[in-house]
Amino acid sequence: MSGIYIHIPFCKQACHYCDFHFSTSLKKKDELINALSKELELRKNEFKHTTIETIYFGGGTPSLLTNEELQFLIDSIYRHYKVTENPEVTLEANPDDLSNDRITELANSSVNRLSIGIQSFFETDLNLMNRAHNAEEAKACLETATKHFANISLDLIYGIPGASNKHWLKNIEIALSYNIPHISSYALTVEPKTALASFIKKGIIDDVDDEQAHEQFHILKEKLEAEGFIHYELSNFGKDGFFSQNNSAYWKGKSYIGIGPSAHSFNGTQRGWNVSNNSKYIEAIQQKKLPIEVETLTLTDQYNEYIMTGLRTIWGVSLENVEKRFGTKFKDYLNEQSEVFINQHLLYIDDGHLRVTKKGQFLSDGIASELFKINLS
Ligand code: SF4
């Protein structure tokens, strides 16, 4: 099983916290879409022997593309790759692009899953983050989208400066009132060189409070689990049957091709990343060159990745798998390193799988890094 990720590097405006690759100028949109289709063709042999099960339009803001433009890219995929009968086709969409007409149009297209960038239902939060939509649009698009799509995910951000736990709980309750089967939620992080980092430095916005973010993570977890959501990955909650197939495949180490500027690819042993510049990307593709840098992962790199992603998910780290893939030395090392965290009730072993406890969940990335700082020969 494999997936195709297509990066759409355009946004209407820059959110203050964002450090993804995008441009707010749409001047090169047509050229870029043609280049994406060309890259799909240039890389068709990479997945000659495998079937595409998921297609994911991420960004940036993929909902800035018209249905015709999306279909043009989907047709390119079908032309050059073997696609399973009913692939999961996800479109990341922002509320200000989801008018009633657009949602109806999308419901009649190949897209069968919407991932909507709500982030918050409150004007104060949306303004602080410089989102392009307002609270009314956030609610209105869900009202209509839920009538046309069964498979919807929404994104929410917690740990926003000035947003109390009560305010956060209200956000979750509003989200739940739409009966959405999947929620992805991330702590607001201050990335260097973003407007948010600069506003905090100048004292215009309060710094994020890690303690409060931690509390809000637990509020989220408790509330969603009580409503029947399964916390299947650190930042992802889904009702049974509604986990993101695309992202689950990443976390299980399956291969994928990333198309477009800044997109990443993985084939099991090599990781690649495309140039993060729209003009350079278009130019290279027009010359039939792939603007990609590739790194071959050592066994240690592969082990580290498995530990990092495994601990973030409900599936955990299979000790048998570690031994099979990496050898007894790695398994013994893992057992030794994890002992201290097991004693602190941050990790536990169940059915041959190492997992984080509820207490350890918010700390899973830090714990993982303690387990993989190794240099085995
Ligand atoms: S819409 Fe998404 S990709 Fe675009 S600036 Fe905002 S967070 Fe970044």
Per-residue model confidence (pLDDT) at position 362:
87
Ligand 1 site-directed mutation target among 25, 61, 160, most atoms within 8 Å of CB: 61
CB contact at 8 A, 208 and 188: yes
CB contact at 8 A, 165 and 218: no
Buried b or exposed e, range 50-60, using 16+ CB within 10 angstroms = bebbbbbbbbb
Burial of 167 (0-12, 13-18, 19+ CB in 10 A): middle
* 217 CA → ligand 1 middle, Å: 22
Atom nearest to 14 CA in ligand 1? 5
Atom nearest to 60 CA in ligand 1? 3
Per-residue model confidence (pLDDT) at position 373:
63
* 147 CA → ligand 1 middle, Å: 26
Per-residue model confidence (pLDDT) at position 130:
97
Q: pTM of the full predicted structure?
A: 0.95
- Give the residues surrounding ligand 1 with Cβ less than 6 Å away: 11, 14-15, 18, 20, 22, 59-61, 94, 117
* 321 CA → ligand 1 middle, Å: 37
Q: What is the dihedral of CA 103, 182, 56, 16, to 10 degrees?
A: 80
* 18 CA → ligand 1 middle, Å: 6
* 189 CA → ligand 1 middle, Å: 14
pLDDT per residue, tens digit, the chain (377 aa), is: 689 999 999 999 999 999 999 999 999 999 999 999 999 999 999 999 899 999 999 999 999 999 999 999 999 999 999 999 999 999 999 999 999 999 999 999 999 999 999 999 999 999 999 999 999 999 999 999 999 999 999 999 999 999 999 999 999 999 999 999 999 999 999 999 999 999 999 999 999 999 999 999 999 999 999 999 999 999 999 999 999 999 999 999 899 999 999 999 999 899 999 999 999 999 999 999 999 999 999 999 999 999 999 999 999 999 999 999 999 999 999 999 999 999 999 999 999 999 999 999 889 999 999 998 665 54
* 59 CA → ligand 1 middle, Å: 7
Residue identifier of the C-alpha nearest atom 2 of ligand 1: 60
